[in-house]
Amino acid sequence: MPILVRLDEMLSARGMTLTELSQAVDITMANLSILKTGKARAVRFSTLETICRVLDCQPGDILTFTQEGESE
């Protein structure tokens, strides 16, 4: 999939666990795990906004686009 989710990197950079993020943004661990693993088919802007607010980052810090076949 050409959209890569870099939630793990942002959590690590902020010294935060997925559990802590889940509690801070009031999103279930299951839904965050789906997003984190790149299995989400969509993400609401309101969800992305809340995650960015808590992690003090931009959407591009979490989601990146690559051409098919490229690896990062």
pLDDT, one tens digit per residue, over 8-48 is 999 999 999 999 999 999 999 999 999 999 899 999 999 99
Per-residue pLDDT, averaged over 43-54, amounts to 96
Query: Could you tell me the pTM of the whole model?
Result: 0.86
Instruction: Assess contact for 50 and 43: CB atoms under 8 A.
Output: no
Beta strand ranges found along the chain (DSSP E)? 3-5, 63-65
Contact 62, 48 (CB under 8 A): yes
Q: What is the pLDDT of residue 68?
A: 72
> What's at 10, amino acid-wise?
M
Per-domain boundaries in the chain: 3-65
Cβ atoms of 65 and 2 within 8 Å: the answer is yes
The pLDDT of residue 20 is: 97
Pairwise pLDDT comparison (70 vs 29), residue with the higher score: 29
Architecture of the structural domain at 3-65? Orthogonal Bundle (1.10)
Residue 71's pLDDT band (cuts 50, 70, 90): low
